[in-house]
Amino acid sequence: MIDVANIRAIDIHTHAEVSCHDPEDPVMGKYFDAASAYFKADRRRPTIPETIAYYRERNIAFVMFTVDCEAGMGVKRIRNEEVAEAARDNRDIMIPFASIDPHKGKLGAQEARRLIEDYGVRGFKFHPPMQDFNPSDRMAYPIYEVIAEYGLPAIFHTGHSGIGTGMRGGGGIRLKYGQPILVDDVAVDFPDMKIILAHPSWPWTDESLSMAQHKTNVFIDLSGWSPKYFPPQLIQYANTQLKTKMLFGSDFPLISPDKWIEAARAAGFRDDVLPLILKDNAVKVLGLGA
């Protein structure tokens, strides 16, 4: 188990983008090319073992997941089991989340239950633009029901998508599904499921802030952007009403935790708030406390 007293931070948003067993999907490769240019990041994606070593060296615990977008993008997914098996052997530093394409409906719900019970998955990731679905579509509810039954959190991508940026037609990715308010119905219908709105949600930042203030089960992870570019209202609310609702996330490997934390220290977060963002809030949301 993770010794929360002795880790520096918890990164709640890291990606597994290289399978331990299968070659890179050629369709996904085109999106990686564009995303690397957009983020000015290394085109080579680290393996899961390399990511584990990277975070262990920095004494930062991390949540890892892949994105199952087989229906929306026609990309062969990285198996959730790869992430879960790696976490099982590195449970002192790594927390496994799973991703299941909501188009799989009840079959996806069966997979979610199996991953929780047999593989120890601790949460789920949804990316509505890449998965081509409205998060409030009842198609996804069988999977949500399983997540809620086990009291696990779910991360939803919100806002602009770096994936598809600069590609013809945005690579077919529809930004409208990243609007945070589309997750509001989910927060109402599953009030005991912790919902994490990923990223500053630009250009709908205020929607995320409103939802986090209105709904006790809604949180915000600050991944995908350098803090030096955060909208001022995000800093304002993080320092005041929403100081227990904000979570550190990097979006590794496209953004490194080192650069994110360095920028966060100069972004205007209060000295008493930054520790909450970097670790303490995530301990509560992920149920890592004693």
Tens digit of each residue's pLDDT (9 = 90 or more) over 86-134: 999 999 999 999 999 999 999 999 999 999 999 999 999 999 999 999 9
- pTM comes to 0.96
Residue 186 is assigned to a structural domain of this protein: yes
Residue 93 is assigned to a structural domain of this protein: yes
CA distances from 283 to 19, 99, 108, 248 (A): 28, 21, 28, 11
Residue 290 is assigned to a structural domain of this protein: no
Domain span at residue 194 reads 4-285
Q: Based on the structure, what is the number of domains in the chain?
A: 1
Convert the pLDDT of each residue in 7-45 to its tens digit. 999 999 999 988 888 888 788 788 888 888 888 888 788
Residue 241 is assigned to a structural domain of this protein: yes
Cα 184–187–193 angle (5° rounding)? 155
CB-based contact 283:13 (threshold 8 Å): no
- pLDDT of amino acid 53: 97
- CATH number of the domain at 246, please: 3.20.20.140
Sign for the CA dihedral angle at 230, 195, 164, 112 comes to positive
